[in-house]
Amino acid sequence: MIEVKETTLHTLLDQAVNEAKYNHTTPLLSMTKKIDDFNPLLFFEAAEQLPMNRTFWSSTAEAFYIVGVGSAYDLADGADSIEQIERNWRKLVDESIIHNPYGTPGTGLLTIGGMSFDPTIRKSERWKKFSHQSFLIPALMLTKERDTCYVTFNIQVTEDDHPEQLAKRVKWMENRLFDHSGYIHGENGVESTADVAPEEWKETVKRATDYIKQDDADKIVLARELQVKLRDNAAITPILNNLIETQTNSYVFAFERDGDCFVGSSPERLVKQEKDVVLSTCLAGTAPRGETNKEDDRIGNTLLQDEKNRSEHDFVVRMIRQSMENYCLAVDVPDKPVLYPLKNLQHLYTPVTARLKEGYSIFDIVGKLHPTPALGGVPREKSLAFIRDHERLDRGWYGAPVGWLDSNSNGEFAVAIRSGLIQGDQASLFAGCGIVRDSDPEAEYEETKIKFLPMLSVLGG
């Protein structure tokens, strides 16, 4: 259904192959073109027939989507830090052949991925398919902004490649992914759920409050797990569809790795970059939504005045301001938070805007911000030490940054909360809460139950 400009594609492929032969290198060719409107969920669904990992990203409030298929390049190969990933990215951008006449954010050469919450701990069997850091350049990518769609091909070329054969491979993939019936297959249903050691978790909360009362920390974020047995192997596309429909003002994401899929819907932006302008979000302090407008207003006003939640929120605000000041100019922070409503929950919200200093990128800020006090605690090292010693959970990518960056200095990262790891007919859902001096273990346990709801509901629970 899409007409490829064969001369343009062949010209670029000839250029890439000739460069590979002349310099004895393997340049990456990235070509973007505008296409007719296409449903990104159908693109994601069609990609299931190919033996390639899929990636999905959506900012639901902005009707913005990125869907990646396969991998043309792995930035994390040989990298042991986000600083090394950034160096790899800069080198790749400098050496790639990029054809993108549009400049729309999320088009052209782009990397997308995530990382572990704590790369210092030994990886559990459950997360064995997810590297501590993984940022891929998709082999084929669909980008949709409102009603405008783009497709990007990324090909690493060698001196032994033939342009004609590469062009045929691109055309074959394109035909497979865009020639689709227009139907999202499958449905999901929950057979059973099981809390993982709830009483032990409450005891850990008590131990954390004792630790805090000794002035060893101000706040510790503890996470726990809910295991879900599904009636059949999970169908990922319907999960994404349900999250998009029900979780407005959120980032919906999915990262596949050899059959396992980390999927979720996070309301928490870590940082967004548009050229030299960056925006971070303080989202900490949680309450349920009311069943009526009057009840909703009452709960919201109580949240705004609640000492525990305001204190927790202020921790995050101060830390983000300090982190942004390392790499930015003109950091602007409102005096007080406002309410950020979601379908099941409402949060305290404060935006932080700034201008990025020359020579820095979104990766610098991600590395400095993670983990925020909303996912780790305060002070950072003491809270992380407590988590390593007492939390029986390998969080994997839960609570860590996930997102994307393009070669035109646009990008966005969210904190991977309201999420779960799906493995066949099993799902592990994760939720956490901030423990402070006066935290009540039973109340914190009930708060995590509320935070499981977005994922549990789209799984059919």
Mark out the alpha helices in 306-438 (DSSP H runs): 307-327, 362-369, 380-390
Q: Catalytic site residues?
A: 219, 268
Q: Is 312 annotated as a binding residue?
A: yes
Q: Which residues contact 301 (CB under 8 A, 6 or more apart)?
A: none
Is there a contact between 156 and 19 (Cβ–Cβ < 8 Å)? no
Q: How many CB atoms lie within 10 A of CB 446?
A: 12
Going along 327-400, which residue ranges are E strands? 328-332, 338-341, 345-356, 377-378
Phi, then psi, of 210 in degrees rounded to 5: -60, -40
Residue 71's nearest CA partner among 141, 124, 126, 17 is 141
| Gap between the Cα atoms of 333 and 318, Å rounded | 9
Phi, then psi, of 428 in degrees rounded to 5: -110, 110
Stretch (H or E) spanning 22: helix 6-23
- 101 burial (CB, 10 Å; 0-12 / 13-18 / 19+) is exposed
Give whole-number Cα distances, 162 to 51, 227, 288, in Å. 23, 49, 59
Q: Is 442 annotated as a binding residue?
A: no
Is there a contact between 70 and 50 (Cβ–Cβ < 8 Å)? yes
List binding-site positions for Mg(2+).
312, 447
List binding-site positions.
312, 447
